[in-house]
Structure formats: structure tokens, C-alpha cells
Structure 1
Amino acid sequence: MSETLHQAGNGNTTDIEVPWPDLPPISDAALQRLSLTHKSIGSIASKEGYEMLAHVGDAILLAVNVEEFFITCLLRDLFPKANKGDITELRSRLVDREMNCQIAEHYELPSNVKAGKGVSETLQDSIRQKGELWEAYLGALFYSYVKEFDRQETETTMNIASLSIGGHSSVTSPTDNHHYSHIQFHGRAFDSLVPFLEAPYIPFARNVVDPGMKHQKDLLDIASRSKSKAELQEMKQKEQIRELVDNKGKENGKPTLVKDEDGNGGKDKFKATCEVTMNDGIILFGEGFGRNYKDAETIAAYMVHVEYKKRTHSVSLSKKMTHKRR
């Protein structure tokens, strides 16, 4: 069934058509209960409740091991030319509290959670806690697959043992080394989760791609290498320019936070400005956008420094041409 999800990114909202799959049932009853039980419930007071499972669910989505876990693998498959920094940036956009919260709400997990008095209302209003319910459900689903594979393996082993000639068998008892038996099923459990997760997360992933991200990263790389901010400050000290002002007219002289105007689900950015007054009174202006103060100011300084160089080069060339005509 395809429905619309409103994907938000720090103020931006983008509607995405999502082919929502049915929520797979958790076959293990104890895990099912735990995935929807808050630690405030008396029977598990002082324990972790669904938070233990949420920790596993978060790892399933966000673990950085490219070969093993879902989100990183998915992004690698969808965008094979993206570098490590691009993948990290996309991953941070794709899995956040608001996204997890909306998925949990779609599957009505918050309305089914059991919590102690005074906690239920807070939980219903908490984006973070509702997002944790989605992670907890994934963790419980993962472990239910592990237990099911372990059960199947145990039955198979016992059947082989019962068919051995004369009742003698070299097959290891199911209880031998059982401490390690679950680990061998983690890969199969993860494989069982992937088809369910792909349906909603592929459109999510394609939606968060910012076409300008590569250009922005290249610009920041060039601006950082240019050391324009330091050069402009040195020029001011040597009185080669009359005035240098960052973020003129802004509170505390800091960059301002602005919404991403691309409408692609990206995160908000900081906007910085840099203004240079040359000794002849000409004012040059540059602006830059970045994920933090430093990046925005670095780009703004670079842009105005480029304008300064263009102007001084043009003036110098004009003087040379005038001299030649004489």
C-alpha cells in the first residue's frame, strides 16, 4: 500500500510516496512484549525495557560497517560514485529522530506501548521516544529471526542424531557450545530484514539527495585551501583594505540559520556574509552557506576575496594598458 510520508529536515517538509510493506510479526512472544514495554512498568522497573532492543535496532540501521549493515549498504548500492563523506552526510539525513518517529506512527507503535503512569503522556509527545519504538521493533524482529533459525537448526541436529546407526552419533548435542550458537544466525536474520526495510527506505534515500551537495563540498574544499579569511585579516592589518566586516548587522556578528530552499529534504544551513571596503571606497560583498558557522564564513571570505582579486587585477591591467598607450 502506497501512502505519503512528510519527510522533514529541520524545517523543510517533503511529501514522499512510500510503498509501505506490512509490518512483519515478531514470532517470539517475549520479544514482542518487550519491544512495546517501557522500563517504567513495574515488572521490569530498573531494567532497560525496549531501550535494549532499540540499541540493536539503531545498530541495524546506522552501523558504519559497509559490508554488514543496512543503511550504509543501501546508499552504496544506490549511489556507487559517492565518496565516504557523501555517504556519511546522506546517512545522517536519512536516519534521524523525526524520520524514525514518523515510521513508528505509521505502524501505530506509540499507541500500543505499555508504560507506567506519568510516562505514557510524555512518551506520546516525545519524538525521540517514539523513534526509539521503531528501533526497538526492528531489534525484536531481528532477534526473533535469530531464535527461529536457532530452533530450526536444533530440530535438524536432533533429527540427524536420532537417525544415526545404533543410536551412536558424532553430531554435537544442541546444548554443546550453545553460548555461541546465536551468532552464526545473525547474518541470516539480517538478510530476512532487508526485503522489509528496502520498500520504504529506497524512496527515503533517493529523496534526501541534494543535487548541490557535491558542488558545495568542492567549494568548501577550495575555500579552505585558499586561506582567504586569514589573508583578508592580514590585508586589513597592513591597511591594504579599509574595512573588513563579517556578518554585518547580524546579532553577535554570527552567521544566521536559514531554511534549505531546494525543497529536497536537506538540512538547514548557516548563511555568512563578508564585506570588504577597499581604500578607494568600493565595497565588495560575498556570502557563503555551510553546515556550521566555520564552513559558512570560510566560503563567504573566499567569495569576497575572489572579487577583490578580480577587481585589483582589472585595475592593474587597465593601468598597464594606459601606460602602453602613452
Structure 2
Amino acid sequence: MESLSISPKPLLVPSELTLPPLPKIYDETILRKVFTHSSFIGRPKYSIDLFEDEDEGRDNEKLELLGDNLLDCAVLGLLQDLYPNLNVGNSTKLKSALVNNTTLRELSKRYRLHERLVAPPEQLPTLMNGDKVLANLFEAYIAGVFYSYLKHGPTSPNPTPTEALPTPPRSPNQHTPPLPSTYTAVGEGSSRLSRGQAIDHLDLWLRPLFQPIAESMLSQLKAEQLSRQLLVDTEDDDTDRKAQGANARLNQWFIFKEGGQPSYASSNAGLQGWKTLCTAVDRDGKSWYGEATRSTKKAAQAVAAYKVIKQFEQERPDFTA
């Protein structure tokens, strides 16, 4: 049974969080692209072209797309390692809270990434405070670290790769060169820098960053569930059983006896499921209300109707539904 008065609260990044060091991006071209907002390039918002020209590809939108997926992979792997027995529903809620725009904006601000944003001066104040812009910036930085590692390795600011990292073709007719398997980073000799190694390199940053946030958010979830349960325990445990079919009984009475039909307004209540308000107007013009929150819309409607019936029975002796 669900509580009727506790609303799900947003899961917050702990204020006392200690950030691990921000990994460096050694490639200057990638670094510029990470911090360049699309408004600075002035790319057309809509285009029928399948491929961008070189100038149009200088902002961070494509990096953000990759960073978003790399972050999802890292966080899901972390949650599986931390909480292998956490059920799918709560794993999904926790993962969504960890990677949503509000959380990533907060991390972007704490790393002061917003201070390096490149955009038209007149738009900067607005962009530097936007949830989505700063969340995208954080994801673009993740992709920037990924590509910088592939190209230069983890530490060398002056790489000498044996082959240039291939650039995707700008038209379907261009040949895609084979992916290189070996790079040489200055001072480290020959080493194989694979995409798997780049993901491992990201994990050295992302796991220490997101583990304490995940632990804090799970504690917040537990506290919220406990609060709901304390309120639920005060309700009549038999309410849901008694409410079965209540909306059908109420509807039938009002259609045939009151000259109208009850209305049901339902809305998603987040962690609580569905919230329904039942409103019934009798033949004298008096309005009756019942409200309930349950895990399904059908159950919420039945309990809301049952609450109207209980009120109606007290004032209308002729009510026999």
C-alpha cells in the first residue's frame, strides 16, 4: 500500500562530496571542441544534409552524444558491482538520478567547467546556468577524455602516434581507413591503446566520483521509503480489499440515481505510482471528493471511489451501491 501524503523528492548530490581530480585532455583540438557550444559555430538548426562540413563539426554536440553513452555504461557497471541484488526498478531510478541533467549540471559547476564554456558573449550568462547545457558539457568532457586517451595515452602532452587516429568520412563515397591497433606515447614505449583501455581510463575517474553519490542517493531512497511505510502503517490494511469494484458501484449509482457520472483525474506520482482524484456531483449539486495514491492507476481509482462511497454512506441513507 502507498502513502497518500509523501511526494517523491529529487535525489541530490551530497554537499560534502570530495571530487576526484579532473582528468586532463591533452589534445588541444579535442579540448576546444569540448567547450565550444553550438551557438558559437552558428550551425543551421535544421538541415537536410546527412553529413556536416568541417566548420559545422567544431562544437561539442557529437562529443556529448558519445559521452552520454559512456557515462551510462560506467554508472550501470558501478551500480551492478555495488548493489548486485538491487531490484531492477530501484536500479533504474538510481541510475536515472545519477545521470540526469540536475546531477550532471551540479558536477559541471563543481568542476568549474562552465567557466570555460565558449559561446557568444551575449548568451554566456544564460548558457552557463542552464541544466541541459552544463549536463551536455560534462558528457562532452567524458568523450574528450576518451578520445584524448586513444590518441595520446594517459599522460603525455606531446604524443608521437605511429598512425593518425582515423577521421570518419564526410560522405558515403570516402574510404574509411582501418583502425590503428598500436600507438606510441612519449616516454612509455610501444603500447596498445584500445577502446577498452580508454573506458578503463575513464573508470579511474568516474567510479570514485559516482560511488559516493550513488551511496548517498540510495540512502535518500531508503529514508523516503521508510517515511512512506510509517504513514502507510497508519492506514486501514483492509482498504484495498474493500475498494475492489468501488468505482463501478459508484458510477452505477450516480448514473441512475444522481443524473451524472463521477470523474477521475489521474497523474503519475513518480515513486508512488499513480495519484487519482475522484469527483462526484450529486443531484443537489453537492460535490464529493476522494483521493488516493497506489502503484497502479486502476487501484488508485478504486480506492478514490471507495473514499467517496464512505462519505456518501454517512449522509445518504438511501445509498445502496
* Length-normalised TM-score, structure 1: 0.59
Higher relative contact order (CA 8 A, sep 6+): 2
Higher helix share: 1
Q: Which residue of 1 aligns with 2:249?
A: 235
Alignment CA distance shift 1:24-1:270 (3 Å) = same
Once the 2 structures are TM-superposed, how far is the Cα of residue 19 of structure 1 from its aligned partner? Answer: 2.2
Once the 2 structures are TM-superposed, how far is the Cα of residue 47 of structure 1 from its aligned partner? Answer: 3.1
Q: Which residue of 1 aligns with 2:195?
A: 186
1:174-233 Cα shifts (integer Å, max 9, x gaps): xxx9522369711100001112111221121122232266999xx9xxxxxx9x77x333
Indicate if the aligned counterparts of 1:246 and 1:272 stay in contact, CA closer than 8 A: no
Map of 1:122-201 to 2, 5 A cutoff?
Answer: 122-149=126-153, 154=162, 179-181=178-180, 185-201=194-210
Q: Which residue of 2 aligns with 1:82?
A: 86
Indicate if the aligned counterparts of 2:128 and 2:134 stay in contact, CA closer than 8 A: yes
3-state DSSP of counterpart to 1:26: coil
Alignment CA distance shift 1:58-1:42 (3 Å) = closer
Q: Which residue of 2 aligns with 1:287?
A: 292
Indicate if the aligned counterparts of 1:57 and 1:138 stay in contact, CA closer than 8 A: yes
Counterparts of 1:267 and 1:16, CA distance in 2: 24
Once the 2 structures are TM-superposed, how far is the Cα of residue 275 of structure 1 from its aligned partner? Answer: 7.8
Counterparts of 2:104 and 2:13, CA distance in 1: 15
Q: Which residue of 1 aligns with 2:100?
A: 96
Indicate if the aligned counterparts of 1:35 and 1:133 stay in contact, CA closer than 8 A: yes
Counterparts of 1:94 and 1:178, CA distance in 2: 37
Counterparts of 1:201 and 1:101, CA distance in 2: 14
Q: Give 1:232's aligned amino acid.
A: A
3-state DSSP of counterpart to 1:19: coil
Counterparts of 1:42 and 1:305, CA distance in 2: 57
Alignment CA distance shift 1:124-1:118 (3 Å) = same
Alignment CA distance shift 1:95-1:13 (3 Å) = closer
Indicate if the aligned counterparts of 1:288 and 1:298 stay in contact, CA closer than 8 A: no
Once the 2 structures are TM-superposed, how far is the Cα of residue 48 of structure 1 from its aligned partner? Answer: 5.2
Q: How many residues are matched?
A: 242
Alignment CA distance shift 1:273-1:134 (3 Å) = same
Moved more, 34-43 or 199-208: 34-43
Q: Give 2:28's aligned amino acid.
A: A
Q: Give 2:69's aligned amino acid.
A: A
1:25-73 Cα shifts (integer Å, max 9, x gaps): 11112111211122343597533501111111111112xxxxxx21111
Counterparts of 1:35 and 1:119, CA distance in 2: 18
Q: Which residue of 2 aligns with 1:112?
A: 116
> What is the percent sequence identity of the aligned residues?
24
Counterparts of 1:126 and 1:237, CA distance in 2: 47
Indicate if the aligned counterparts of 2:292 and 2:300 stay in contact, CA closer than 8 A: yes
Once the 2 structures are TM-superposed, how far is the Cα of residue 245 of structure 1 from its aligned partner? Answer: 5.2
Counterparts of 1:14 and 1:123, CA distance in 2: 21
Indicate if the aligned counterparts of 1:274 and 1:300 stay in contact, CA closer than 8 A: no
3-state DSSP of counterpart to 1:288: strand
Map of 1:225-264 to 2, 5 A cutoff?
Answer: 231-239=245-253, 253=265, 255=267
Counterparts of 1:204 and 1:102, CA distance in 2: 12
Moved more, 143-152 or 193-202: 143-152
Indicate if the aligned counterparts of 1:101 and 1:127 stay in contact, CA closer than 8 A: yes
Counterparts of 1:239 and 1:54, CA distance in 2: 57
Indicate if the aligned counterparts of 2:290 and 2:305 stay in contact, CA closer than 8 A: no
Indicate if the aligned counterparts of 1:57 and 1:137 stay in contact, CA closer than 8 A: yes
Indicate if the aligned counterparts of 1:17 and 1:203 stay in contact, CA closer than 8 A: no
Alignment CA distance shift 1:49-1:60 (3 Å) = same
1:262-321 Cα shifts (integer Å, max 9, x gaps): xxxx979864345899xxxxx99662156xxxx4x434335468889x9xxxxxxxxxxx
Counterparts of 2:79 and 2:10, CA distance in 1: 24
Alignment CA distance shift 1:88-1:14 (3 Å) = closer
Counterparts of 1:30 and 1:24, CA distance in 2: 16
CA RMSD of aligned residues (A): 4.4
Counterparts of 1:197 and 1:178, CA distance in 2: 31
1:77-119 Cα shifts (integer Å, max 9, x gaps): 2221123333222211111111111111111111112222433
